[in-house]
Amino acid sequence: MHKLNELQQDALIEAFNVGIGQAAASLSAIVRETVRLSVLSVQFVQFLEACRQLNSGGEARICAVSQEFTGSFSATGLLIFPERQSLEVVRLMLNESLSLQELTDLEQDAMSEIGNILLNACTSAVASLFSSHLTSSLPTYSLGTPEDVLQPHAHARDDVVMLLHIDLILEERQLSGIIAFMLNGLALDQLVSQVDHYLASLNLTSSQP
């Protein structure tokens, strides 16, 4: 498994923060108040470690919106929140006082819209910064254990999962989620190649540690 050096990780975080900033502007327009989003860290871990981290808070189930991305590199992107936070995310985005039943009925559509905004903003920013091209599928909603949610998108148990830990802040309310990208060996090589090509265009060089 690749271990990206500091320069490569900084380039990825820069790209994702551009995308997150664009997504925050879109979400702010929806809720009619300022939404702040930030990428706290980027990790590359293997499948089972990703499942362990997603279950580290003791959550039995997670809520996820997934999309397939193909082009300069292929990956499945997922926006993930703990199940207990997903309805709060929907409540914030709809900006209405709804009953639990009404929220539950709207959860899948609302979360799919939020996931579509965030995932496409992130991948578009990466594609733009690295002068590459990506296309996306329609979003798919799922709810289950971390392994149940991630397993359908894994080619093998040694697939690499890129985890972006994000903060979503709206006024005094703060929620923590994760954007995950499932990468097989070829996709990871392609992503690293894209990062190195970008760094070379800035007259920076990146050697693997």
**pLDDT tier, 180 (very low <50, low <70, confident <90, very high otherwise):** very high
Q: For residue range 14-62, list pLDDT tens digits in order.
A: 888 888 888 988 888 877 778 888 888 888 998 889 998 888 766 678 9
% of the chain residues with pLDDT over 90: 22
In sequence order, which ranges of the chain are alpha helices (DSSP H)? 6-31, 47-54, 83-94, 100-129, 146-150, 185-201
CATH number of 6-201: 3.40.1550.10
Instruction: Check: CB of residue 83 under 8 Å from CB of residue 17.
Output: no
> What CA–CA distance (Å, rounded) separates 207 from 8?
9
Torsion of CA 130, 195, 192, 46, to 10 degrees: -90
How many percent of the chain have pLDDT more than 70?
Answer: 89
Q: Would you state the pLDDT for residue 65?
A: 94
- In this structure, what DSSP letter does residue 152 have? G
* β-pairing verdict for 140-144 and 75-82: unpaired
Mean pLDDT of all residues in 172-183: 84
- The Cβ-side half-sphere exposure at 87, using a 13 Å CA radius, reads 11
**β-strand 35-46 against 75-82: which pairing, if any?**
unpaired
pLDDT band (50, 70, 90) for residue 145: very high
**Phi, psi angle pair for 64, to nearest 5°:** -140, 145
Least confident of 102-111, 144-153, 177-186: 102-111
What does the pLDDT read at residue 28?
Answer: 85
User: What ranges do the domains of the chain cover?
Assistant: 6-201
Give pTM, 2 decimals.
Answer: 0.86
